[in-house]
């Protein structure tokens, strides 16, 4: 019988190394980093497992770490790449309205941890999708689609909301 290491969000089989093969819950989001070195998987709606690409076999990914959001569901994830350092950045949003940025650093004792989080929208609103948008060669924005019909332009570097657009009239039935 094969021995399996179980993780909450995804499981890792040390023999065949199929990181999502024995997942104990539904995978709700999958996202590759822009350089395809990392794969993020969200399951149980509250946890993210990060997998890193094998150095010799690009089709194999190994478990790199796990983060849980104990109290609220993850509603969106997005990988981006820092234009100055080429460092991969992972963001998620949860049902409480928080934007969370993760630290991905293989040199740390815990290579995948929450780096920062901020309240982006007031509960019960939440971010339903994230998209990267660059207006020029210096500023990167996360466009955050809010379930109340708004779109927020969030400056990644200054960590501030720069603009909010009301995309849907409040009288529009949802």
Residue 168 maps to a domain: no
Minimum mean pLDDT range among 1-5, 31-35, 60-64, 152-156: 1-5
* pLDDT at site 141: 95
Closest among 28, 35, 52 to 104, alpha carbons compared:
52
Residue 14 maps to a domain: no
Domain boundaries, position 42: 27-125
Name the percent of the chain lying above pLDDT 70. 83
Residue 20 maps to a domain: no
Residue 151 maps to a domain: no
Indicate the pLDDT class of residue 136, thresholds 50, 70 and 90: confident
Minimum mean pLDDT range among 23-27, 65-69, 141-145: 23-27
Residue 85 maps to a domain: yes
* pLDDT at site 173: 57
Residue 130 maps to a domain: no
Residue 135 maps to a domain: no
* pLDDT at site 13: 39
pLDDT (tens digit per residue) in 12-33: 434 445 556 555 678 899 999 9
Closest among 138, 40, 47 to 89, alpha carbons compared:
40
Domain total in the chain? 1
Residue 19 maps to a domain: no
Mean of all residue pLDDT scores within the chain: 83
pLDDT (tens digit per residue) in 72-120: 899 999 999 998 899 999 999 999 999 999 999 878 888 899 999 999 9
Q: Is 174 exposed, middle or buried (0-12, 13-18, 19+ CB in 10 A)?
A: exposed
Answer whether residue 2 shows pLDDT above 50: no
């Amino acid at each position: 019988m094969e021995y399996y290491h179980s993780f909450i969000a995804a499981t890792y089989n040390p023999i065949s190394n199929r990181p999502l093969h024995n997942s104990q819950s539904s995978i709700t989001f999958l996202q590759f980093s822009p350089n395809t070195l990392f794969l993020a998987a969200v399951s149980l709606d509250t946890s993210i497992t990060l997998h890193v690409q094998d150095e010799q076999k690009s089709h194999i990914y190994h478990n790199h770490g796990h983060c849980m959001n104990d109290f609220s569901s993850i509603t969106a994830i997005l990988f981006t790449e820092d234009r100055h350092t080429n460092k991969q950045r992972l963001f998620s949003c949860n049902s409480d309205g928080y934007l969370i940025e993760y630290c991905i650093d293989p040199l740390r004792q815990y290579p995948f941890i929450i780096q920062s989080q901020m309240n982006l929208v007031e509960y019960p609103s939440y971010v339903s999708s994230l998209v990267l948008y660059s207006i020029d060669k210096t500023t990167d924005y996360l466009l955050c689609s809010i379930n109340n019909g708004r779109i927020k332009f969030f400056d990644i570097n200054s960590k501030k909301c720069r603009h909010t657009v009301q995309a849907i009239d409040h009288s529009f039935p949802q």
